[in-house]
Amino acid sequence: MNALWKVARFTATDIFRSKWLPVYTVFFFLIAEGLFRFSGDSGQALVSLTNITILLIPAASIIYGALYFYGAREFIELLLAQPVGRKPLFTGLFSGIAGALGGGFLIGTGLPCLLHGTADDRITILAILSIGVMLTLIFVALALLVAVRSDEKVRGVGICLGLWLAFAILYDGLIWLVLALFADYPLERAAIVMTTLNPIDLGRVGIMLRLDIAALMGYTGAVFEQFFGSRVGFTLTSGAMLAWIVAPFMLALRSFSRKDF
Amino acid sequence: MPPHDMGRHCSSLEMMSAAAGQILRLLLLFSICFACMRTSAVHAAEVRVGNGVDFAAAVAKAAAGDRIIVPNGVHTAIDVKIDKPLEITGQAGATLDGKGKSQILIISAGNVVIRGLTFIRSGMSYVSDNAAIKATGISDLKIENCSFRDNFFGIYLAKSSNCIVRNCSFKASGRLESSSGNGIHQWYCRNSVIENNTIAGHRDGIYLEFSRNAIIRGNKSLNNIRYGLHFMFSDSCAYRDNLFQENGAGVAVMYSKFITMTGNIFRQNWGPAAYGLLLKEIADSHIERNRIEGNTTGLYADGCNRNTIHFNTFHRNGWGVKIYANSSQNNFKDNNFLSNTFAVSTNSSSLQTNVFDANYWSEYTGYDLNRDGFGDAAHHPVRLFTILIERQPTSLILLRSLFIDLLDAAERALPVLTPQTLADAHPRMKPKQ
């Protein structure tokens, strides 16, 4: 446990010192601050903030996570020569990267939200922040999974980019295709199931439930609202999000434990 | 004796009685001259309910023009017929109870005034429209400061003119459309004034059919089962500064001309068939300075022509404006569209004759190089995704997806499906104040 904490702290300070984290934080701060200042209506600012959270966080987390792991390869090999368990070492690495990125996002986005957000928007802001943190955890875990499995840096980063593209864009295209092809059938349930299988879509729907509640109360939207808005739906989607963190992490941990460095 | 002499020489008592005599003589003259007019109003007597005289007996006993005083307490009143001009005044706590049987007051005479009474329990019926106060074929009815609780219909005016309903509150707790009635119902009425009332829990808050020249202002219509305000075939009416909130289906106005709707608030009407403001076959009307926020559909226009929609604010609605292609020559100018999920939706990409000009669109991304306050590039408020959703509603699940944003961007560059004629050539850079 001690080793885990030490590795995590070292990783986080390392990311901070490399100026990556300050830049990341300031970037989110400027974006959020600018949006609140210039978009006139806090609703519009939150919409844009949602888009950025949902797109940028997965991209940044998965690419930076992989790059950091490749960069830290020698450091990892050095530590493995010491009496340090592989489990605490890997968990420490994950916590350090995810904690640094998640913290940077929370501070960068949270401050402007605190400054400008109205009382009505409080829950929406909370949803955006927590979904941002969840997405960070998920995509750092995915990044480590790819980086552990693939020794070649270029190939690894390429796979990460591909994964991001698939989750962020292609998957939705697939959903749309299915919805268009089977338009004659009632597809509300199918749409819900397909959405739950993609973490970015889960995050998107979670925020949509707050921001577009008026539109969701329409005919089809009501079906989605009934599911995702209910306690069962919330539990299920939170469970799916958690599974999306735990599964890649466990897989990566297993590969890391068995890996021949 | 000329009055100015009198004032100097007589004692005050004599002066008063003489003056009274003078007035009486004058009045006599008047009543002879206008024998058919209601001279009795002048000799108004007071009839008190109580001491063995129940409400119905008091009404029967009263002569035309008398004033009936209803003291504190619950008085049974079932189908009490008011066929002469009366003033019925309730003291604090005075309540007329219909016992859930039938109607409470049935008015068939003009110039009735009702003040300060509470009406409870007019009877629910699937056959007849039982109301707490029903007036048929009369004029100049005035209902003020009354309260209506758990009635089927609250006030039902039919074929009447110049009636006023003011400062009343209506509260019912109906659950089904079929088993609850309207708060204020008008049928074939002329020149009514409905102002500063609060209506909640009825089927329709305010309902007008075949009425003309009504003025509806300062009312609050909340949590009604169906519509906050519902009117059909009622031309030349004005609706000002009302609040319509959380009604089952919002506000529906149909088949009418020359309507003025200004300064109203339409708020939080949610549901698959809920509209902030539903317009069906409305023509030549003015919809101005209203605030339409948080509704599933803000403004829905079906078969509406030549209306002006100016200075309204559409805020955080699912669909700001849904305008069907059978609507033409409507003018949307100087409105603010703020953070609606879909600003404008339509069902056709063919030629649009509706004009959108000088509105503010919070999603507008253009620039203003000449700094005149208007964007230099036209804004097309109908997105591709809006059209896709019209065709395939389930794709709503993809809202705010990057994939959809990319499709939208592609459509903007090379428009195929979105109506190019539906555009705002001068989008504002800042919201219109």
How many angstroms separate the CA of residue B379 from the nearest CA in chain A?
17
Closest-approach residue (CA) in chain B for A226 = B271
For residue B191, the one-letter residue type is N
Total domains in the fold of chain B: 3
Instruction: Please report, for residues B222, B227, B281, B405, the alpha-carbon distance to residue B266 in angstroms, rounded to integers and kept in the order given.
Output: 10, 11, 20, 30
Specify whether B239 is located in the same domain as B286: no
User: Most A CBs within 10 Å: which of B341, B362, B395, B397, as the mutation test of the A interface?
Assistant: B397
Specify whether B106 is located in the same domain as B244: yes
Specify whether B24 is located in the same domain as B101: no
> Which residue from B255, B246, B254, B213 is spatially nearest to B228, judged by alpha carbons?
B246
Contact B275, B295 (CB under 8 A): yes
Instruction: Please report, for residues B240, B264, B319, B334, B423, the alpha-carbon distance to residue B311 in angstroms, rounded to integers and kept in the order given.
Output: 14, 12, 18, 5, 18
**A198 touching chain B per CB within 8 A:** no
**A193 touching chain B per CB within 8 A:** no
- Token pair, residue A202, equals 């889960």
Closest-approach residue (CA) in chain B for A164 = B402
- Token pair, residue B5, equals 């002499």
Taking an 8 Å cut-off on Cβ atoms, the answer to whether A44 and B398 are in contact is no
- Token pair, residue B114, equals 């009702």
Partner residue opposite A218 with nearest CB, options B272, B395, B398: B272
B366 CB-near residues (< 8 Å, 6+ apart): B375, B376, B377, B379, B427
Q: Rounded to the nearest 5°, which phi and psi values hold at B321?
A: -130, 130
pLDDT number for residue B30: 55
Q: A211: which chain B residues are within 8 Å (Cβ-Cβ)?
A: 341
For all residues of chain A together, what is the average pLDDT? 90
**B50 touching chain A per CB within 8 A:** no
Can you tell me which residue has the tokens 């986080």?
Answer: A12
> pLDDT per position in chain B (433 positions), as tens?
444 444 444 455 555 565 666 666 655 555 554 544 444 445 678 999 988 889 999 999 999 999 999 999 999 999 999 999 999 999 999 999 999 989 999 999 999 999 999 999 999 988 889 999 999 999 999 999 999 999 999 999 999 999 999 999 999 987 888 889 999 999 999 999 999 999 999 999 999 999 999 999 999 999 999 999 999 999 999 999 999 999 988 899 999 999 999 999 999 988 778 899 999 999 999 999 999 999 999 999 999 999 999 999 999 999 999 999 899 999 999 999 998 999 999 887 776 789 999 999 988 888 999 999 999 999 999 988 888 888 888 888 888 888 988 888 888 888 888 888 889 999 999 998 8
Question: CA angle at residue B235 from B234 to B241, to 5 degrees?
Answer: 85
Specify whether B128 is located in the same domain as B244: yes
Cα-atom radius of gyration of chain B, to the nearest Å?
A: 28
In a domain, B408, yes or no: no
In a domain, B147, yes or no: yes
Q: Which domain holds residue B21?
A: 3-33
> Which residue from B343, B283, B336 is spatially nearest to B317, judged by alpha carbons?
B343
How many angstroms separate the CA of residue A47 from the nearest CA in chain B?
8
Contact B135, B162 (CB under 8 A): no
Q: What is the per-residue burial (b if ≥16 Cβ within 10 Å, else e) of B130-165?
A: bbbbbbeebbbbbbbebbbbbbbbbbbbbebbbbbb
Specify whether B26 is located in the same domain as B139: no
B188 CB-near residues (< 8 Å, 6+ apart): B158, B159, B160, B209, B210, B211
User: DSSP readout, B64-113?
Assistant: TT-EEEE-SEEEE-SSEEE-S--EEEEPTTEEEE-TTTS-SEEE-SSS-E
Partner residue opposite A180 with nearest CB, options B297, B318, B392: B392
CATH number of the domain bearing residue B129:
2.160.20.10
Specify whether B220 is located in the same domain as B307: no
CA dist B272 and A122 (Å) reads 27
CA dist B45 and B58 (Å) reads 12
Can you tell me which residue has the tokens 């466990």?
Answer: A250
Specify whether B268 is located in the same domain as B232: no
In a domain, B21, yes or no: yes
Residues of chain A falling short of pLDDT 50: none
Specify whether B25 is located in the same domain as B85: no
Instruction: Please report, for residues A16, A53, A56, A261, B217, the alpha-carbon distance to residue A125 in angstroms, rounded to integers and kept in the order given.
Output: 26, 11, 17, 43, 38
CA dist B152 and A156 (Å) reads 72
Specify whether B208 is located in the same domain as B323: no
In a domain, B398, yes or no: no
Specify whether B313 is located in the same domain as B239: no
Contact B38, B85 (CB under 8 A): yes
Specify whether B76 is located in the same domain as B220: yes
How many angstroms separate the CA of residue B396 from the nearest CA in chain A?
7
Partner residue opposite B403 with nearest CB, options A173, A195, A217: A173
In a domain, B267, yes or no: yes
Q: B393: which chain A residues are within 8 Å (Cβ-Cβ)?
A: 218-220
> Which residue from B103, B58, B111 is spatially nearest to B79, judged by alpha carbons?
B103
Q: What is the per-residue burial (b if ≥16 Cβ within 10 Å, else e) of A135-147?
A: bbbbbbbbbbbbb
Partner residue opposite B394 with nearest CB, options A50, A51, A179: A179
> Which residue from B307, B314, B305 is spatially nearest to B338, judged by alpha carbons?
B314
Taking an 8 Å cut-off on Cβ atoms, the answer to whether A51 and B405 are in contact is yes
Instruction: Please report, for residues B121, B287, B311, B340, B364, the alpha-carbon distance to residue B308 in angstroms, rounded to integers and kept in the order given.
Output: 42, 6, 10, 21, 23
Q: Is the dihedral of CA B418, B419, B422, B423 positive or negative?
A: positive
What ipTM did this prediction achieve? 0.83
Strand, helix or coil at B254? strand
Taking an 8 Å cut-off on Cβ atoms, the answer to whether A215 and B342 are in contact is yes
In a domain, B254, yes or no: no
CA dist B332 and B423 (Å) reads 11
Specify whether B21 is located in the same domain as B134: no
**A177 touching chain B per CB within 8 A:** no
User: Most B CBs within 10 Å: which of A46, A213, A224, as the mutation test of the B interface?
Assistant: A213
Beta-bridge partner residues of B287: B261, B309
User: DSSP readout, B300-321?
Assistant: EEES-BS-EEES-EEES-SEEE
pLDDT number for residue B36: 45
Taking an 8 Å cut-off on Cβ atoms, the answer to whether B397 and A219 are in contact is no
> Which residue from B304, B225, B295, B294 is spatially nearest to B261, judged by alpha carbons?
B304
Q: A222: which chain B residues are within 8 Å (Cβ-Cβ)?
A: 271-272
Write out pLDDT tens, residues A88-123: 999 999 999 999 999 999 999 999 988 887 777 888
Q: B403: which chain A residues are within 8 Å (Cβ-Cβ)?
A: 168-170, 172-173, 176
Contact A43, B338 (CB under 8 A): yes
Structural domain boundaries of chain A?
2-258
